[in-house]
Structure 1
Amino acid sequence: MNNSIGWNSTVDSELRRPLALLTFSGLLAWMLLGSVLVLAETDEPRVQLEIAVDPRLPPLTSHEWAKALTTAGVQDVRVRMARPDDAPKVQQISSDPLPVYRVLAIVNAQNELVVPGGRFSIRQIEMFRQWLNDLRQQGPPESRPKQVAFGLNIVQFEQVRHDMSRPVAFSTKGRPRNELVENLVASLSNTSVFDPDARKRLGQDPFDEELQGLAVGTVLAYLLRYDGLAMVPQASVNGIRYQIMIGHAKLAAWPVGWPPEGSETTAVPKLLETLSVNIQSVSVKEVLQSVSERLSLPYLLDHPALARFGMELDKTTVNIPQTKTTYSQIIKRSLFQGRLKGEVRCDDAGKPFLWITTLKPIDEM
């Protein structure tokens, strides 16, 4: 799409007076904003913003944009009248020690601020600020690799997956959850940052499950979810970091495992093995433990969901009359009787496990 703006350079005499006012208001905006260049933080690239306003707009448009940007805290701005050959662009004018980007943004005839890869109304200044932040952290839009998840490009995402895929090298059973989380975080290559209230929510009671051998990322996400927390990988100009925060339903956080690449039975072929069973008044927990041992298939519990609905696996019984069936059917029938459901997931290293949650989902996570 051609973002350049064209108009007749010959201005009718009726328009000259408004344009003179526009020139004055543009000059005033320049005096207010352009003459004071505020340096950005030293740890991120600097952006110099030049805004060219279509002269067909009302004379006070320049002042309105200048005021809106100033109020929003956008710095290092110059406002002027647009020329016929102006087009939105980003130029890197320096890279020592960090890049300096010069942005030419056009306020078009529809009073929209147009930049490469985006356009914003004057009511969307916060969205434009995010565009500027993305520019500082990721460079110009046309030079960025395609993002795949969490705002990461494919190279960054694979770096995170590799970091998360190492197996937990120590026993987890009987140790305080907060201690386990701190040890797992310390084992990662990239920096982890806790939100102010997140670390306070980590439980100190002993953890009753053995997760040694599962991937670090999966175990960390599992432990954080236990206390209503979540981890979000983030990319910045300084590299990748892991933000640990309070979780909520709309948060795209690192998951407790991933769907298998093929079917569940491809990931765990023994699910299709047949056997004769006669299960009478046996707890769901005992059934899961028995199947887990037979299949060498660990299982993880969605503790927030179980707690929400008051479910205790050792107090819910299963009855399956004598029959010949598969492990897959035993799991499904046992969980259904306990108002639960399960699915095969794979940890960050590709090792399968069984994820157990409630039939009715919870809203918070």
Structure 2
Amino acid sequence: MNSSVRFFPVLLTLLLMMVCPAVAQEAGTSAAGSSRETKTIIQIELLSSRFGGPLVSQEWGRLFEKLGVVARIRQPVFDEEPEIKESVRGTLRLVKLIGQIDRDGSVVFPGHRFRQSEMDELREWLEELRTYGAQGAPTGKPLWGLQRAQFTEIFDSLKSPIEVELKGRPVEEALAELPLPATYPVRWHTSTEAIRETAGSVNVLQEVRGLSAGTGLSAILADLGLGYRPLRTPSGSIELVIQKLSDAPDAWPVGWEPLEGTSRLQLAPTLFQMERVGFDQVPLAEILDAIETATGVPIIIDYGQCRTHDIDPHELRVSYPTKRTAWALLVNSVVRQARLTKEFKVDEAGHTFLHVYPFVPKAATER
């Protein structure tokens, strides 16, 4: 069969998407309550290691007790890993830390490692948690050392929609077109100079029009292996600093997790419309573009990660038997054929999109 796409008559009158802007909702709630004094309670659970003895665990328990915190030591459950969680009820904030006692006797939390000789550093970190909370955005991303009110201001400033087409335009030109806040200037880190020199000749790979400025900037940069994050300057002002993702694992994310409990049907109802469709050996990028046009739901491919895994969505071809199906099921099928996966995300303004990136299976846990 010749390479072709047979999309039978499609209902292009889009339904109004009942989107729940999870991040905006939580950020607004935090800002509204910032005028009241918040009491923070820290709970710590330490996952013992099969490589370390009970004496190490007991010593950590005594050290945390000296710091005014009770640490519960227990065995990990299945593939449990360190994490930081926060919950707020009125003026009471509960920060729960789950750490891992490593084989070298140190204790590991997300983004932090402490030895028993580093009690001053541990004490300082616990004080920061009491002051700022878990410093986690709704998806667990750090607040980059900012107070929650500062984070909310930056987050809100990145909600402006991108109103111009940027696909195919030079990256340098596209960044200048983004509705980014003048109060938070963008600065390229010195480590990105070689990549920045190519920004005038490398084009934006996908359309981000309709997304908010914050998510659009993340998507454009991710295709180059870059990201950005807010950083405070010595003068106290805040910049949006572009860095290599390898140097900035806490970069501003390409979208945020939807509000817990929101169904996919609520997030993107047009993706669940039934249509008759079929094609044979068509480039994945063309199929995803067609689905985006038919449903009105943006589909953002992480081309940077795809390159890392030797996946080219423009060259890799996919097929689907002719039948009546929902767009969401079609997306699932074609991305799996390409060794990719997808997530429902929302941008800073609460607009839904699909984020497509390589599927990386979790490593098998040791028995």
Give the TM-score normalised by structure 2: 0.56
Q: Is the 8 A contact 1:164 1:188 kept in 2?
A: no
Partner of 2:108: none
Partner of 2:212: 215
Partner of 1:360: 360
Distance 1:224 1:325 in 2: 34
Of stretches 351-360 and 315-324 in structure 1, the one that deviates more from structure 2 is: 315-324
Distance 2:215 2:295 in 1: 20
Number of equivalenced pairs = 239
Offset of residue 249 of structure 1: 7.6
Q: Residues 1-365 of structure 1 correspond to what in structure 2 (within 5 A)?
A: 124=118, 127=121, 131=124, 144-146=131-133, 147-148=135-136, 149-150=142-143, 151-184=145-178, 187-202=181-196, 203-204=198-199, 205-235=202-232, 238-248=236-246, 251-261=249-259, 262-360=262-360
Gaps of 5+ in 2: 1-113, 137-141, 363-367
Higher helix share: 1
Distance 1:351 1:325 in 2: 24
Q: Is the 8 A contact 1:163 1:188 kept in 2?
A: no
Offset of residue 254 of structure 1: 0.4
Of stretches 252-261 and 166-175 in structure 1, the one that deviates more from structure 2 is: 166-175
1:181/1:199 CA distance change after superposition, 3 Å: farther
Gaps of 5+ in 1: 1-119, 135-139
1:269/1:186 CA distance change after superposition, 3 Å: closer
Per-residue displacement from partner, 1:40-89 (whole Å, max 9, x unpaired)? xxxxxxxxxxxxxxxxxxxxxxxxxxxxxxxxxxxxxxxxxxxxxxxxxx
Distance 2:360 2:269 in 1: 28
Per-residue displacement from partner, 1:129-188 (whole Å, max 9, x unpaired)? x95xx9xxxxx9699453343233321221111111111243313321133235548644
Offset of residue 342 of structure 1: 1.5
Q: Is the 8 A contact 2:276 2:324 kept in 1?
A: yes
Distance 2:116 2:280 in 1: 68
Distance 1:183 1:278 in 2: 38
Q: Is the 8 A contact 2:158 2:181 kept in 1?
A: no
1:321/1:199 CA distance change after superposition, 3 Å: same
Q: Is the 8 A contact 2:271 2:297 kept in 1?
A: no
Q: Is the 8 A contact 2:274 2:325 kept in 1?
A: yes
SS in 1 for 2:240: strand
Distance 1:199 1:166 in 2: 28
Partner of 2:32: none
Amino acid at match of 1:193: R
Q: How high is the sequence identity, in percent, across the aligned residues?
A: 23
The RMSD of aligned alpha carbons is 3.5
Offset of residue 219 of structure 1: 1.2
SS in 1 for 2:209: coil
Offset of residue 250 of structure 1: 6.9
SS in 2 for 1:171: coil
Amino acid at match of 1:301: I
Amino acid at match of 1:172: L
Q: Which has the higher contact order (CA 8 A, sep 6+)?
A: 2
SS in 1 for 2:331: helix
SS in 2 for 1:354: strand
Partner of 1:90: none
Distance 1:174 1:279 in 2: 26
